[in-house]
Amino acid sequence: MSFDRLIEGIIRTQNPTVVGLDPKLSYIPEEIKADCFAKYGKNLDGASAALLEFNKGLIDALCDIVPAVKPQCAYYEMYGWQGVRALYETIAYAHEKGMFVITDGKRNDIGTTMQAYAAAHLGEVEIEGQTVIPFGGDALTVNGYLGSDGILPLVDVCEQQDKGIFVLVKTSNMSSGELQNLTVSGGDTVYFTLGKHCEMWGESTMGKYGYSGVGAVVGATYPEQLQELRDALPTTFFLVPGYGAQGGGADDVKQGFDEKGLGAVVNSSRGIICAWQKNGFAGKDYAKAAREEAIRMREELTEKIGKIG
Torsion angle in degrees (nearest 10) through CA of 12, 14, 18, 24? -100
Task: Answer yes or no whether residue 221 interacts with a second copy by CB under 8 A.
Answer: no
Evaluate the CA torsion angle 73, 78, 81, 86 in order and state its sign. Answer: negative
106 catalytic? Reply is: yes
135 vs 257, which CB is nearer to a second copy? 135
Task: Answer yes or no whether residue 135 interacts with a second copy by CB under 8 A.
Answer: yes
Q: How far apart are CA 272 and CA 142, in angstroms?
A: 24
Q: What b/e sequence results for 123-154 when a residue is b if at least 16 CB atoms lie within 10 Å of its CB, and e otherwise?
A: bbeeeeeeeebebbbbbbbbbbeeeeebbebb
114 near 100, Cβ under 8 Å?
no
Minimum distance from residue 151 beta carbon to a second copy (Å): 9
247 near 189, Cβ under 8 Å?
no
Applying CB under 8 A, among 49, 94, 102, 114 the residue interacting with a second copy is 114
Task: Answer yes or no whether residue 134 interacts with a second copy by CB under 8 A.
Answer: yes
Per annotation, catalytic residue among 24, 42, 106, 284 = 106
Look up residue 224 and give its amino acid.
E
7 vs 266, which CB is nearer to a second copy? 266
88 vs 258, which CB is nearer to a second copy? 88
Rg of the chain over CA atoms, in angstroms?
A: 19
Q: What residues numbered 239-298 form the site for a second copy, per CB under 8 A?
A: none
Task: Answer yes or no whether residue 131 interacts with a second copy by CB under 8 A.
Answer: no
37 vs 281, which CB is nearer to a second copy? 37
Applying CB under 8 A, among 145, 160, 247, 251 the residue interacting with a second copy is 145
174 vs 232, which CB is nearer to a second copy? 174
Q: What residues numbered 37-66 form the site for a second copy, per CB under 8 A?
A: 37, 42-44, 46-47
Applying CB under 8 A, among 108, 205, 225, 267 the residue interacting with a second copy is 108
Applying CB under 8 A, among 38, 179, 232, 282 the residue interacting with a second copy is 179
Q: What residues numbered 64-103 form the site for a second copy, per CB under 8 A?
A: 72, 74-75, 77-85, 87-88
Q: How far out from the chain centre does Cα 142 lie?
A: 11
Look up residue 108 and give its amino acid.
N
From 59-67, 109-117, 273-281, 282-290, span contacting a second copy (CB under 8 A) = 109-117
Q: How far apart are CA 2 and CA 187, in angstroms?
A: 31
Torsion angle in degrees (nearest 10) through CA of 65, 18, 201, 141? -140
Catalytic residues: 106
